[in-house]
Structure 1
Amino acid sequence: MAEPQIIWFRNDLRLADQAAVRAAAAAGPVIAVYVLDDETPGKWRIGAAQRWWLHYSLVALAADLKKMGGALVLRRGRPAAELAAVAKAANATAVHALHHYEPWAVTEEAAVAKVLDLTLHDGAYLAPPGTTKSGSGTPYRIFTPFWNALQHAMPPGDPEPAPMIRFAKPPKSDDLDDWKLLAADPDWSGGFDVWTPGEAGAHAALDTFADVAADYEHGRNYPAKPLTSRLSPHLHHGEISPAQVWAAISGRGEGPVSYRREIGWRDFAINIVQQFPRLGDEPNRPQFADFPFRDDPKGLRAWQRGRTGYPIVDAGMRQLWTTGWMHNRVRMIVASFLTKHLLIDWRHGERWFWDCLVDADYGNNSLGWQWIMGSGVDSSPFNRIFTPVGQSEKFDGGGAYIREWVPELAKLPDDAIHAPWDASPMALKAAGVDLGKTYPHPIVDHAKARARALAAYAETKG
């Protein structure tokens, strides 16, 4: 009789188009295991919003396995020790898993490989990280040539359906509720009901996006329009594969072509992580190591809570706090505001996103913040400073996004909602807005903040 095969799930919580599941099922009876590891990642342990998502994604995966006659074994601790314990109880030695590339994931895999027969499979990205290289064989550090090269290897292979699985008798499992993944202080997940974690939820989201994907190119920058995919948390948790997304949106015009670049950026980010494992902690450009950031706890708190006095910034931060997600255009606006208008260290923003985003991906999050800061290997220059009012007028002209997330400004006319401090006293009174009371004055003047940021940058360039 074939030896039981352990499937080690991590951020790959699906059964279809999952190479580790397919290989394990072909080799023998299966034991499905998820290990919650809060130790190996250190300060990069998953944040509160991700923990909420993980709880419900594990519920969905366990239900899918149960329908097939199996169960999901839950363990908490170091993966090598917990998987070894499962293997001993099940008389198994073989472990199958998808390959992950975050620095702590690499550490985990090496530790498991020392005690068990670990086979790692590709499938978390469009192409295996490290395989897209220049003609001279070096890894890319600039996105556009990386993307051009990656496209030569596309499309990815056809997605595979979930295999037939025979299950071995599972050993003892933790109770998911005992992990208290839903506990948060304060409980800011009241708006998370807009999400449906799990493989079925991922495919429902993909179906919804596929219907509007043709409009993605011209609508993706407008936060009030429902034209973004909202697939990022499903991709991050591996409830759907990039190949499945690629296949579903093929043949639907220019919009999908543009969206594929976003999936390609995800591949690019993890390739940069391979080259710079400390991407989330250290600037890629050495001249930013001693950048003169300001220590401003009050400003940081105002930014976190959406109380900066700049409506588009506050709308984005409140959307994040309420739903665990923020429109990508607005992510750039709020990140630029924190790092340049307030001169607060980008790592404070990165960590806030890590805790509050349901799609908080180490590569994407770190690369995005360094892109805005200008400290990344491929980044926007520091002196590109987003003008909040200009961005707001351009991408939320009618103010619909602001009205949704900053309701105290909802009655302001379109020409006043982007900069209420410039509105007439009559317009403010008619809208029920009392600046400084019902809505804050701007915590910083744009022109002065811009000049201060450029001066700090000049000092850095020294």
Structure 2
Amino acid sequence: MEKVTLFWFRRDLRLEDNMGLYYAYTQDSNVLPLFIFDTEILEKLEDVRDARVTFIHDQIVRLHEELKGFGSSLVVKKGTPIDVFRQLLEDYEIQAVYTNRDYEPYAKERDIAVGDLLKSHEIELLDFKDQVIFEKDEITTDAGAFYKVYTPYSKQWLAKYASLSFSPVTLDKRKNAFFQTKPLPVPSLSDLGFEKSDLYMPPLQVDKSLIRTYDKTRNFPASNGTSRLGIHLRFGTISIRILAQEASQLNDTYLNELIWREFYMCILYHKPEVVDNAFKPAYDRIPWRNNADDFELWCAGKTGYPMVDAGMRELNATGYMHNRVRMVTASFLTKHLLIDWRWGEAFFAKKLLDFELASNNGGWQWAAGTGTDAQPYFRIFNPESQMEKFDKEKKYIKKWVPEYGTSSYPTPMVDHKFARERALETYKNALERT
């Protein structure tokens, strides 16, 4: 059997500035890259044209081509990670397995199981920090606890970041450390049980001029004012270190958005129970209405509130929703309709190209008032005033709700003033219960 050191790609689908890959490449020879289409994840997807699977498959094909330039290839497998590694142990004499850390609950369980299997064969699983600037307990209070509020976390993050020096790590082709092999086969989408999606995939492009003006443009959904790099951060086709370095030089507001991402990852790492429960336990007492008919109107973008409807239709058609509109639609579902934030979170998880568990969970709990936000529960967005403030000329509305202003557009499904008062009373009563 061939002796190899495996590098296991997961949320880091790039060769540039990839920490785990760099350490495998510089410290070992015969590095053979690996990617697993995890059936534990694939089998939970409902749409055979899930755009995220198409995106990942496209990136795997790209990596496969890039590795040819090193005289190597990419081992691509489909199955549960534990079963795939059992087979790899029969196919190769594995010296070590390198990978980058993931902080989601399923990923941590998966890595423990794979690590135990490898350990039983006296093989080490070496993992590295790659998808964040700071992880785990690197940003803590003076008492050593993790931060539960964003503002003090961000101040500590920025102070620590200012002391860092950074240069991207690269692979030296002269070292010739990759396992030399003919190109290995890459399964097709149909082999995986999927079909190609025709949704638009945002290109990997760091638009410096856009980032430079991000604080002025980011709130207006009709303009091209956001970077659309979320999917690339989610699957690691861009280095967070390179992007943060650009942001730190160009726009503090954009950098703050990257810090929010790490804050929510920190919350998820330290409190994985937030996946199923409110960050603030008392808020699990809220008696949600959970009206299924109301939920369907919200999902379809037929609420009678143009900003909400435009956002939901944009999401359904493109797999994307503008950040400002995400807040408005989430607030409407949880506060106006009193529908459990978990319903909305699950719908976004199915639809968003840039779905990331930590950020999706954190954003929904923020909107519902159940999360880390220091503000009390009584923040309730007015969808009409949000439209007047951020889409005054109705360009965004008219793009996604062409029947707006005609007799075919529905009247609001609930009165704003009534819904606001009902939400305040419902939250107040629930939180006062002992």
TM-score with structure 2 setting the length: 0.90
Tell me which amino acid in the other structure corresponds to 2:275: G
Question: Counterparts in 2 of 1:276-355, with a 5 A limit?
Answer: 276-355=271-350
Question: Counterparts in 2 of 1:13-28, with a 5 A limit?
Answer: 13-26=13-26, 27-28=28-29
CA shift, 1:172, in A, is: 7.0
C-alpha distance in structure 2 between counterparts of 1:30 and 1:171, whole Å: 14
1:380/1:324 CA distance change after superposition, 3 Å: farther
Q: 1:140 aligns with which of 144, 147, 165?
A: 147
What percentage of aligned pairs have identical amino acids?
35
**Which residue of structure 1 aligns with residue 418 of structure 2?**
448
1:239/1:89 CA distance change after superposition, 3 Å: same
> Are 2:3 and 2:92, in contact at CA under 8 Å, matched by a contact in 1?
no
> Are 2:335 and 2:419, in contact at CA under 8 Å, matched by a contact in 1?
yes
Q: Give CA deviations for 1:13-32 in whole Å, capped at 9, x if unaligned.
A: 11111011112222111211
Q: 1:62 aligns with which of 61, 64, 69?
A: 64
C-alpha distance in structure 2 between counterparts of 1:447 and 1:240, whole Å: 44
1:45/1:269 CA distance change after superposition, 3 Å: farther
Question: Counterparts in 2 of 1:197-236, with a 5 A limit?
Answer: 201-202=203-204, 205-206=205-206, 208=207, 210-236=208-234
CA shift, 1:173, in A, is: 5.5
CA shift, 1:227, in A, is: 1.6
The answer to whether residue 158 in structure 2 is matched with residue 151 in structure 1 is yes
- Single out whichever of 374-383 and 144-153 deviates more from structure 2: 374-383
1:379/1:79 CA distance change after superposition, 3 Å: farther
Q: Which runs of 5+ in 1 are unaligned?
A: 184-188, 410-419, 421-432
TM-score with structure 1 setting the length: 0.85
Aligned pair count reads 419
The answer to whether residue 76 in structure 2 is matched with residue 74 in structure 1 is yes
1:176/1:87 CA distance change after superposition, 3 Å: farther
**Which residue of structure 2 aligns with residue 180 of structure 1?**
193
C-alpha distance in structure 1 between counterparts of 2:414 and 2:265, whole Å: 36
C-alpha distance in structure 1 between counterparts of 2:254 and 2:42, whole Å: 31
Q: Give CA deviations for 1:398-450 in whole Å, capped at 9, x if unaligned.
A: 111111111223xxxxxxxxxx4xxxxxxxxxxxx22xxx3222111111111
C-alpha distance in structure 2 between counterparts of 1:84 and 1:172, whole Å: 19
1:456/1:310 CA distance change after superposition, 3 Å: same
Question: Counterparts in 2 of 1:13-162, with a 5 A limit?
Answer: 13-26=13-26, 27-39=28-40, 48-116=50-118, 117-155=124-162, 157-162=166-171
**Which residue of structure 2 aligns with residue 361 of structure 1?**
356
**Which residue of structure 1 aligns with residue 121 of structure 2?**
none
Give SS of 1:282's match: coil
C-alpha distance in structure 1 between counterparts of 2:43 and 2:126, whole Å: 25
Aligned-residue CA RMSD in angstroms? 2.4
Q: Give CA deviations for 1:203-230 in whole Å, capped at 9, x if unaligned.
A: xx21x2x122221112111111212111
> Are 1:49 and 1:355, in contact at CA under 8 Å, matched by a contact in 2?
no
Question: Counterparts in 2 of 1:421-460, with a 5 A limit?
Answer: 433-434=406-407, 438-460=408-430
Tell me which amino acid in the other structure corresponds to 1:31: L
The answer to whether residue 375 in structure 2 is matched with residue 376 in structure 1 is no
C-alpha distance in structure 2 between counterparts of 1:32 and 1:313, whole Å: 44
1:373/1:43 CA distance change after superposition, 3 Å: farther
Give SS of 1:227's match: coil
CA shift, 1:8, in A, is: 0.7
Give SS of 1:39's match: helix
Give SS of 1:76's match: strand
CA shift, 1:44, in A, is: 9.1
> Are 2:316 and 2:351, in contact at CA under 8 Å, matched by a contact in 1?
yes
> Are 1:4 and 1:30, in contact at CA under 8 Å, matched by a contact in 2?
yes
C-alpha distance in structure 2 between counterparts of 1:87 and 1:93, whole Å: 10
> Are 1:71 and 1:170, in contact at CA under 8 Å, matched by a contact in 2?
yes
Give SS of 1:179's match: coil
Q: 1:385 aligns with which of 380, 400, 404?
A: 380
C-alpha distance in structure 1 between counterparts of 2:181 and 2:73, whole Å: 9
Tell me which amino acid in the other structure corresponds to 2:279: N
C-alpha distance in structure 1 between counterparts of 2:180 and 2:253, whole Å: 44
Q: Which runs of 5+ in 2 are unaligned?
A: 119-123
CA shift, 1:33, in A, is: 1.1
**Which residue of structure 2 aligns with residue 425 of structure 1?**
none
Give SS of 2:32's match: strand
**Which residue of structure 2 aligns with residue 242 of structure 1?**
240
Q: 1:404 aligns with which of 385, 399, 406?
A: 399
**Which residue of structure 2 aligns with residue 271 of structure 1?**
266
C-alpha distance in structure 1 between counterparts of 2:399 and 2:283, whole Å: 37
